[in-house]
Amino acid sequence: EYVAHVTEHRCPAGACKALTNFHIEAEKCKGCTLCARNCPVGAISGKVKEPHVIDTSKCIKCGVCMEKCKFQAVVKK
């Protein structure tokens, strides 16, 4: 786990906020826009009934998108 943190810049446990990213799985996303409407910084984009995308440069990693998604399309990586 230490090697993953230092050399790969990722947290396998998902505990380190700085090394965690949120991602929307396109095959699960129904395009309901619920995540985008609740994102406090507008980091999620996409059209209605089409898979959405999270702009990781804007994302503050608050987790609201994951909480609001009814289809479990938002995952932490």
DSSP letter for each residue of 9-53: ---TTS--GGG--EEE-TTT-----HHHHH-TT--EE--TTS--E
Report the range of poorest mean pLDDT among 14-23, 30-39, 43-52. Answer: 14-23
9 pLDDT above the threshold of 80: yes
Q: Residue 54's pLDDT band (boundaries 50, 70, 90)?
A: very high
Map residue 54 onto helix, strand or coil: strand
Mean pLDDT over 18-43 rounds to 95
The whole-angstrom separation of Cα 44 and Cα 53 is 6
58, 42 contact by CB (below 8 A): yes
- Ordered by where they begin, the domains of the chain are 22-76 (3.30.70.20)
24 pLDDT above the threshold of 80: yes
pLDDT tens readout for residues 35-50: 999 999 999 999 999 9
65 pLDDT above the threshold of 90: yes
